[in-house]
Amino acid sequence: MTARNGKSGRKSGRTKGAGGGAGKISYKEAGVDIEANTRWVGSIESAMRSTYGPRVCVPRHGGFAGLFRLDHDNGLFKRNYRKPVLVGCADGVGTKVLLAIRMKRLSTIGIDLVAMNVNDLITCGAEPLFFLDYLGVHKLDPAGLQDVMAGIAAGCRDAGCALLGGETAEMPSLYRRNEFDLAGFSVGVIEQNRVIDGSRVGTGDVIIGLPSSGVHSNGYTLVNEVLKRNKARLDRVDPKLGETLGEALLRPTRIYVRAALAVLHAYRVKRVVTGMAHITGGGLRENIARALPAGCDAVLKKNAWKPPPVFDALRRLGISRGEMLKVFNMGIGYVFLVRPHFAAGVVRVLRRAEEEPIMLGRVTRGRQRVRIQ
């Protein structure tokens, strides 16, 4: 296994001595090439460094852990917390990995990985600080996996967090040839008195949505199954999509960190955002409900937005609209619940952040349900 920390990015693994039995065997013969791992460490160092800011404390080469300053006094980057609360998330991209492998396009799956974590993290108002990744492979293939790492680094730069370390595990006995899996872990911070947990959501609050780029990174077990049953072509341009189905399905998950922080920074004193939700597996109903307190419903206007064409393509392949509403984001990737008097101001902030906010509906009295009507 190869861990990635600090300046060096990753430390090389160690080979245990062979025991008794019929002849000696090396780690390489068992399926793990330590020399290849060491070369892999060097090849991704620049990608990791590209995410470092002044808060990363760079240790000596080959360190066992990454270091990050919470409080710091570096000029423009000065930031000191009074009552900091650390926030942690862990997530993966599921079976979207299989689609990326099938299409031999690994350059965006790393962005998905970062997005799935940091979008969850910011729902409580936290600022992402750093990110860690885990990559489990059958066999280390630097050429292909460098695309994955480049995507992770790109996602971290977009989210404003440091790629502080990680782990690469070469395990041919666990993963099939040409297959891999990846998971991510993000850590953020927020002042205790600024935590957003949905408890302040009230009737009349306005629900504002941000568009998704497509399917994002949920429901791909269903996507892969419907593709298999229809023997769908992924490399043929669909006139209704304006691109191939494969390209539409691999479009990376949007990262909403800058938009969310723009709103929160615009209202440093007044707490105008009462709740936020990242629309992942379970769709709009399940995820917005997680931001509602007892006694409140969210009522969404079904004609307030139009889902991207990729969802029509999936419907034509045999997934009903009802099922898609239960599984997919249907074109809305992130949601703000906002005090009604400040909704117009929040929309202006989001537009300045180059977003296209959508007025989805309002909060009413109810029983923590989300209704689309």
Domain shared by 276 and 340, yes or no: yes
CATH number at residue 7: 3.30.1330.10
| 165, β-bridge pairs | 5, 132
Please give the share of the chain, as a percent, with pLDDT higher than 70. Answer: 89
CA–CA dist 79, 72 (Å, integer): 6
Domain shared by 16 and 148, yes or no: yes
Domain shared by 167 and 272, yes or no: no
So what's the pLDDT on residue 65?
86
**262 located within any domain:** yes
Domain shared by 23 and 121, yes or no: yes
Task: Please tell me the least confidently modeled range out of 28-42, 179-193, 205-219.
Answer: 28-42
The string of DSSP codes covering 284-341 is HHHHHHTTPPTTEEEEE-TTS----HHHHHHHHTT--HHHHHHHS-TTEEEEEEE-GG
Task: Examine the fold and report which residue of 161, 194, 227 is the final residue of a domain before the chain moves on.
Answer: 194
So what's the pLDDT on residue 362?
98
**Domain count for the chain:** 2
**199 located within any domain:** no
Domain shared by 268 and 322, yes or no: yes
pLDDT band for position 46 (50/70/90)?
confident
319-349 tens-digit pLDDT: 999 999 999 999 999 999 999 999 999 999 9
Whether the pLDDT of residue 14 is over 50: the answer is: no
The string of DSSP codes covering 215-281 is STTS-HHHHHHHHHHHT--SSSEETTTTEEHHHHHHPPPPP-HHHHHHHHHHTSSS--EEEEEE--T
In the block, tokens 């952040």 appear at 353
Give the residue, 1 or 250, on which the prediction is more confident: 250
Domain shared by 187 and 211, yes or no: no
CA–CA dist 282, 294 (Å, integer): 19
Domain shared by 175 and 248, yes or no: no
Q: In terms of residue numbers, what domain contains 160?
A: 2-194
Domain shared by 157 and 235, yes or no: no
**201 located within any domain:** no
pTM of the model: 0.90
Task: Examine the fold and report which residue of 194, 228, 245 is the final residue of a domain before the chain moves on.
Answer: 194
Domain shared by 94 and 229, yes or no: no
